[in-house]
Amino acid sequence: MNSITAKAGTGRSSLLPTLPLPRNPGMPLDMAWVRLVQANTSAIERRCATLGGRRTVKKDHQAAWLARAISCIDLTTLAGDDTEGRVRRLCAKARQPIAPRLLQALGLEGLTTGAVCVYHDMVPTAVEALAGSGIPVAAVSTGFPAGLSPFHLRIAEIGESVSAGAQEIDIVITRRHVLRGNWQALYDEMAEMRAACGAAHIKAILATGELGTLRNVARASLVCMMAGADFIKTSTGKESVNATLPVTLTMIRAIRDYEARTGMKVGYKPAGGISKAKDALLYLALMKEELGDRWLQPDLFRFGASSLLGDIERQLEHHVTGAYSASWRHALA
Ligand SMILES: O=C[C@H](O)COP(=O)(O)O
């Protein structure tokens, strides 16, 4: 193992978690606990504002962290004009996320993204294009992105995507339940969606940019975990405000509290607007500081991103050659 793989823990075997985790089975809705949850917005914002100044990684360490970031990307295309050709190219990129000469120079052969994330319509194409790679297909579901189609259709959509081969389902919650403080309704909807997923893992998208307050974000995170979410995810990428560090700190502290109380580890996925390698490093640093190294593995951490990989590849090219490539060379990722 060379110095990059050693620093990142991204040698082929260490890309996979050493011990498979039990799934979060959920628990009965505990309203007393939900009501206790608060979020000190100014303290959270202060803590996040200082992160960039305190946490920098350089040279081989930076390359190692960027390789780690790649292994945690849900490489995403969620556009109305998606075609089979675009999805196949995206899947090829997921299999081989950076140029072979860079992979070789960095000793990262075998590195792949964490998953490919598409609309239901594109699941069969992605499943076929990723056959044999071990890379799971994630489908956005339940009337994504608004999540306001009739409930029985949202549940049916989950079943269709699972039947088509999706191993991960990204559902969207009904924001109205949070804004009205109707935690029972949120719990019930989430539990039913979890059941519809069967063996597929479920990521609960909170659409945090539409939840009003960090306290709502913290409470919604907790209720979704109580109802059995495998991951909690910030955003669809379609809200006017998507993933942010303050929202991240709020959600991962909810994950920490849930683990402390139940012993179950729930994953975290910031999504939407994360397109720069330096921002990815901040998210990883925050995960490491708050939850520890175990949450830097793809079974507990993902970036939902359509264009982050391109910038990471540019930074790794610079690390290897000393020169930046033009961003158009990385158009797909
Ligand atoms: O879940 C993933 C997001 O939709 C991707 O958002 P993005 O295109 O801003 O990277």
Residue at 157 is within a domain? yes
Q: Which of 254, 264, 267, 250 is nearest to 304 (CA)?
A: 267
- Say what the ipTM of the complex is: 0.97
Q: Residue 1 — very low, low, confident or very high, per pLDDT cuts 50/70/90? A: very low
Under 8 Å between Cβ of 225 and 263: no
Q: Is 172 helix (H, G, I), strand (E, B) or coil?
A: strand
**Span 242-269, pLDDT tens digits:** 999 999 999 999 999 999 999 999 999 9
Mean pLDDT of 110-134: 98
Catalytically annotated residue among 74, 170, 279, 311: 170
Ligand 1 neighbourhood includes 305 CB (under 6 angstroms): yes
Q: Which residues contact 307 (CB under 8 A, 6 or more apart)?
A: 275, 333
Q: Is 93 a catalytic residue?
A: no
Determine the pLDDT at residue 3.
53
Amino acid at 104: Q
Whether residue 331 has pLDDT greater than 70: no
Determine the Cα–Cα distance for residues 111 and 8; give it in Å rounded to an integer. 12
Whether residue 118 has pLDDT greater than 80: yes
Residue at 276 is within a domain? yes
CA of 242 to the centre of ligand 1 (A): 9
Q: Is 238 a catalytic residue?
A: no
Residue at 310 is within a domain? yes
Percent of the chain with pLDDT over 90: 87
Under 8 Å between Cβ of 93 and 111: no
Residue at 137 is within a domain? yes
**Span 276-315, pLDDT tens digits:** 999 999 999 999 999 999 999 999 999 999 999 999 999 9
Ligand 1 neighbourhood includes 11 CB (under 6 angstroms): no
Residue at 18 is within a domain? no
CATH code for the domain of 58: 3.20.20.70
Q: Residue 18 — very low, low, confident or very high, per pLDDT cuts 50/70/90? A: low
Determine the pLDDT at residue 76.
98
Whether residue 4 has pLDDT greater than 80: no
Q: Phi and psi at residue 176, in whole multiples of 5°? A: -55, -40
Ligand 1 neighbourhood includes 272 CB (under 6 angstroms): yes
Q: For ligand 1, atom 10, which residue shows the shortest CA distance?
A: 305
Higher-scoring residue by pLDDT: 4, 233 = 233
CA of 35 to the centre of ligand 1 (A): 31
Atom of ligand 1 nearest to the CA of 274: 10
Residue at 117 is within a domain? yes
Determine the pLDDT at residue 74.
98
Ligand 1 neighbourhood includes 234 CB (under 6 angstroms): no
Catalytically annotated residue among 269, 279, 299, 311: 269
Residue at 22 is within a domain? no
Under 8 Å between Cβ of 266 and 233: no
**Span 193-221, pLDDT tens digits:** 999 999 999 999 999 999 999 999 999 99
Whether residue 6 has pLDDT greater than 60: no
CA 170, 255, 302: angle at the middle one, nearest 5?
A: 40
**Span 228-247, pLDDT tens digits:** 999 999 999 999 999 999 99
Q: Which domain holds residue 94?
A: 27-322
Q: Taking all residues of the chain, what is their mean pLDDT, rounded to a whole number? A: 93
CA of 261 to the centre of ligand 1 (A): 32
- The model's pTM is 0.94
Sequence-separated contacts (24+) of 156-161 with Cβ below 8 Å: 157/120, 158/193, 158/196, 158/197, 159/196, 160/120, 161/120, 161/123, 161/200
Whether residue 14 has pLDDT greater than 70: no
Cis check: omega of the bond before 145, within 30 degrees of 0? yes
The structure tokens listed for 253 are: 């502290």
DSSP annotation string for 229-259: -SEEE---S-SSS---HHHHHHHHHHHHHHH
Ligand 1 neighbourhood includes 73 CB (under 6 angstroms): no
Q: Which of 256, 144, 153, 151 is nearest to 207 (CA)?
A: 144
Whether residue 90 has pLDDT greater than 70: yes
**Residue-level length of the chain:** 333
For the chain, what is the domain count?
A: 1
CA of 273 to the centre of ligand 1 (A): 6
Q: For CA atoms 219, 25, 228, 303, give the dihedral sign.
A: positive
Could you tell me which residues are beta bridge partners of residue 116? 75, 137
Determine the pLDDT at residue 11.
44
* H or E segment and range at residue 138: strand 137-140
| Torsion, Cα of 170, 266, 191, 130 (10° steps) | 30
CA of 263 to the centre of ligand 1 (A): 30
Q: Is 164 helix (H, G, I), strand (E, B) or coil?
A: coil
Catalytically annotated residue among 7, 233, 265, 299: 233
**Span 39-60, pLDDT tens digits:** 999 999 999 998 877 767 777 8
**Span 137-169, pLDDT tens digits:** 999 999 999 999 999 999 999 999 999 999 999
Whether residue 329 has pLDDT greater than 90: no
CA of 303 to the centre of ligand 1 (A): 9
Ligand 1 neighbourhood includes 271 CB (under 6 angstroms): yes
Answer left, alpha or beta for residue 181, where phi above 0 means left and psi between -120 and 50 means alpha.
Answer: left
Q: Which of 260, 276, 287, 173 is nearest to 223 (CA)?
A: 173
Q: How far apart are the first and last CA of the chain?
A: 27
Residue at 314 is within a domain? yes
